[in-house]
Amino acid sequence: DLNLLQPEQALAFYREALRIVEREHARDQNDARARRDVDRLLRKTALMIVDRQPAEAMALVQRALQLSGIHLRTSPNNTEYIRDSADGLLLYAYGLQNLNRHREAIQYLEKGLEKQLALQRSSPEAKRFQRELQETYEAIGD
C-alpha cells in the first residue's frame, strides 16, 4: 500500500499491481473479484497522480466507474460497491478541480454526495461514512 515517504515507488507498485489484475480480469471478464481489483487499483493509481496529471487520472477513473457500474447493476444495495462508485465520482471531481473546471466538479461532487448520504442513512453510526461525508462537504465548500 501507499508509502508516503516514497510516493513514486508506491505509484510504480500500483501500476505493476494494476497490470497484474488487468491480466487476471482479461482472462475472465465475469470474475467480480478481478473486476473489483481492477476498479480499486485504477482509483488508487488515479489518486496518486490526480494533482500532477489530472487528465490521466480522470481517464483511469472513467474506466473504474464503468467497472463500478457493472457491480452496481448486479448488486445495487451492496455498500462496498456504492462506496467504490462514490469514490470514483469524487476522484473525478478532484481532477476537474485541478483543471479549473469547477462547475463540472461540483456536479460530480454532488453525485458522490448523494451516494454517500445513502450510505450514511443505511449505517448512521459508521464512522467511516461520516468521515468521508465530511470530506465531501469540505470539497464542495472549497
Residue pLDDT tens, the chain, 142 long = 556 678 888 899 999 999 999 999 999 999 999 999 999 999 999 999 999 999 999 999 999 999 999 999 999 999 999 999 999 999 999 999 999 999 999 999 999 999 999 998 888 888 888 888 999 999 998 8
Q: Which cell numbers hold the place of 3? A: 508509502
State the pLDDT at residue 84. Answer: 96
Q: What local confidence, expressed as pLDDT, does residue 76 receive? A: 94
Residue with grid cell 442513512, as numbered in its chain: 121
State the pLDDT at residue 105. 97
Which position has the grid cell 459508521? 126
DSSP 62-88: HHHHHHHHHHHHH-TT-HHHHHHHHHH
**How far is the CA of 10 from the CAs of 25, 45, 54, 135, in angstroms?**
22, 9, 18, 24
Question: Which pTM does this prediction carry?
Answer: 0.91
First-to-final CA distance of the chain = 28
**CA 84 to CA 94: how far, in whole Å?**
15
d(CA 124, CA 46) in angstroms, rounded, equals 29
Three-class DSSP category at 34: helix
Q: What secondary structure letter does DSSP report for 30?
A: T
Quickly tell me which residue has 467504490 as its cell.
84
